[in-house]
Structure 1
Amino acid sequence: MFNYFVFCLFFVGIFTNICQSIDYRCLYPAEVGPCRKFILKYAYDYDSDQCIPFQYGGCGGNVNRFDSVYACEQTCRYSSNLQPHYVHQYRYYQH
């Protein structure tokens, strides 16, 4: 989260729309987590601009996890209006 704010402050003049429009949760890939439950959740996939269903294991994972397609789309679909090459450079990945 701290890196996101540093990014926004550093590039505020050039990338103002990204800082105002992107919810950082939408940049993570869908992640099942280490547990083995089957809980239907939805994650935003930036490349396809779709909220996709996935099996959440019940623990761990990341914040790109929504209870419904509607919640996912309300949070993430608006970011598809951004230029992809700007977003892909600064996409969040867990190490």
Structure 2
Amino acid sequence: HDNYTLDLLSDAVCSLPPEKGNCLALLAQYYYDSEEKICRLFHYSGCHGNGNRFETREACQSMCQGTSPPIIHHPPLILYLNLYSHKREF
């Protein structure tokens, strides 16, 4: 697979909601919360579910966040630029 295909697959998997399945186990797993852009812990029942399920936080981050650090959203910064104050005179 090329990188484009892998990106599409990871986008599809990482946007799925967490599904605990319908068995009786309580396994600590991680899923990617696509709204908050972080990997979260959840309890998996041991069967069924979907692909947005990882054994470690690192595996979740590797698939869904890539190698870049998580994006931290700040309130918008408004900059005012006075174009006339930077005039050059020749």
TM-score normalised by length of structure 2 = 0.62
1:11-62 C-alpha deviation (Å, 9 max, x unpaired): xxxxxxx866341210110100001111000000100001000000000101
Q: Which position in structure 2 is the counterpart of 1:53?
A: 41
> How many positions carry a matched residue from both structures?
64
Q: CA deviation at 1:67?
A: 0.5
Q: Which position in structure 1 is the counterpart of 2:7?
A: 21
Structure 1 or 2: larger helix share? Answer: 1
Poorly superposed stretches of 4+, deviation over 4 Å: none
Tell me if 1:77 matches 2:65. yes
TM-score normalised by length of structure 1 = 0.59
Distance in 2, Cα, partners of 1:19 & 1:60: 25
SS in 2 for 1:21: helix
Distance in 2, Cα, partners of 1:46 & 1:19: 19
- Aligned-pair identity in percent equals 33
Distance in 2, Cα, partners of 1:20 & 1:59: 25
For the aligned residues, what is the CA RMSD?
Answer: 2.4
Which runs of 5 or more residues in structure 1 are unaligned?
1-17, 82-95
Distance in 2, Cα, partners of 1:20 & 1:70: 18
SS in 2 for 1:37: coil
One-letter code aligned to 1:21:
D
Distance in 1, Cα, partners of 2:64 & 2:55: 13
